[in-house]
Each structure stands twice: as structure tokens, then as C-alpha cells.
């Protein structure tokens, strides 16, 4: 039973990696499903901010992660979803975050609009 579950899990993981174009040469990383959140990339500082509401994405106290900036190709966009290689600076605890493209917020911060 457990071997069948493991085989199914690895097969699904491989299909997800292939869908996004991720190469497992970087390792078999865990996947975090954050599709319920709105999100905003902060390209100048290698952060992704995410929140349950859009207003919080502009504030200073938004939850954020650093995405991995030591290699190229860490943001994998498809038509409906994005997968990002996250490096939260916790002793190498990298993971892959999956988010919905329709929840991406592309706007200016409060500082940029003043």
C-alpha cells in the first residue's frame, strides 16, 4: 500500500515539475500550495509578498518570502499559475510555491504613488 502511494506521489510530483518546466537537477523540493493568496513580486528586492486581501499587499507588514536569487530561472509562469523557487534563509529550507496568476497584483506601492 505505502509503496503504491509513494509511486503515485512521485509520479504526480514529476508531472507538476514538467508542467512548469522545473528541472529536478536543483533537487526534489517540497511544494507549497498558496493559491488562496493574492500576491505581488518585488523584483528589486527579490521578495514575493502575499496576503488574503489586496490592501495588505501595499502595506509594510505583509508576509513575504525571499525567492532564490543565486540562479537563473526561479520563476516559472504558465497560463494560469506561477511556481517560484523560494529561499526563506532558514538554513537551506527551499521550497516551490504555487500561486494563481489571476491573484497577482501589479500596482505601485504607497511610496511610489505619493
Q: Could you tell me if residue 50 is inside a domain?
A: yes
CB atoms within 10 A of CB 22: 18
Q: Could you tell me if residue 17 is inside a domain?
A: no
Q: Could you tell me if residue 12 is inside a domain?
A: no
Per cent of the chain over pLDDT 90 is 40
pLDDT in tens, 20-69: 999 888 788 899 999 999 988 877 667 788 888 887 777 665 666 666 55
Residue numbers of the domain that contains 104: 29-109
Looking at the DSSP bridge assignments, the partners of residue 31 are 96
Q: Could you tell me if residue 11 is inside a domain?
A: no
- 1 compared with 90, residue with greater pLDDT: 1
Q: Could you tell me if residue 20 is inside a domain?
A: no
pLDDT band at 87 (very low <50, low <70, confident <90, very high): confident
Total domains in the fold of the chain: 1
Edge-to-edge strands of the sheet including 95-100? Answer: 31-33, 95-100, 81-86, 75-77
Amino acid at each position: 500500500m505505502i509503496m503504491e502511494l509513494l509511486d503515485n506521489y512521485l509520479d504526480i510530483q514529476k508531472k507538476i515539475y514538467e508542467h512548469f518546466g522545473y528541472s529536478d537537477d536543483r533537487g526534489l523540493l517540497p511544494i507549497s500550495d498558496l493559491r488562496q493568496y493574492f500576491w505581488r513580486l518585488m523584483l528589486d528586492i527579490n521578495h514575493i509578498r502575499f496576503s488574503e486581501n489586496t490592501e495588505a499587499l501595499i502595506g509594510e507588514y505583509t508576509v513575504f518570502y525571499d525567492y532564490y536569487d543565486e540562479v537563473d530561472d526561479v520563476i516559472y509562469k504558465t497560463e494560469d499559475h506561477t511556481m517560484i523557487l523560494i529561499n526563506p534563509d532558514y538554513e537551506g529550507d527551499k521550497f516551490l510555491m504555487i500561486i494563481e496568476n489571476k491573484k497577482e497584483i501589479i500596482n505601485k506601492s504607497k511610496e511610489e504613488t505619493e
